Amino acid sequence: MKILVPVKRVVDANVKVRVKADGLGVELANVKMAMNPFDEIAVEEALRIKEAGKAEEIIVVSIGPQQAQETLRTALAMGADRAILVKTDEQTEPLGVAKVLKGV
């Protein structure tokens, strides 16, 4: 069995988030980014399943800009076997993410 774990790049939990001057979003310039903490838990659980002998391979996938490679590298450092980056510079909506994951 192979385990596919989607991971998302988000603002680090230890960083204070600032709203943009126009009030239409979050200021992301010069902000530290990290893996979503809940996704990190999912990767850890996948590793436990693999260590128990119930899975052969753990594949992490992220949909986003080129900088999302950092998040994938974190998952690989945790013990994932492969990583896939679906590169896009556009905002992805949940339905779009689901369709991409189906394709992967």
Q: Which percentage of the chain shows pLDDT scores above 90?
A: 68
Say whether pLDDT at 34 is over 80: yes
Say whether pLDDT at 29 is over 90: no
- Asked if residues 89 and 65 have their Cβ atoms less than 8 Å apart, the reply is yes
Digit-coded pLDDT (tens) for 57-81: 999 999 999 999 999 999 999 999 9
The amino acid sitting at 66 is Q
Digit-coded pLDDT (tens) for 16-27: 888 888 888 787
Strand 57-64 with 9-11, pairing: unpaired
Segment 88-102 mean pLDDT: 89
Segment 23-41 mean pLDDT: 86
| The pLDDT value given to residue 28 | 76
Give CA–CA dist 39/96, Å, rounded: 19
How many CB atoms lie under 10 A from the CB of residue 42? 18
Residue tagged 């809940």 (tokens): 38
| The pLDDT value given to residue 15 | 80
Digit-coded pLDDT (tens) for 80-92: 999 999 999 888 8
Q: Which structure tokens are listed for 33?
A: 């980014």
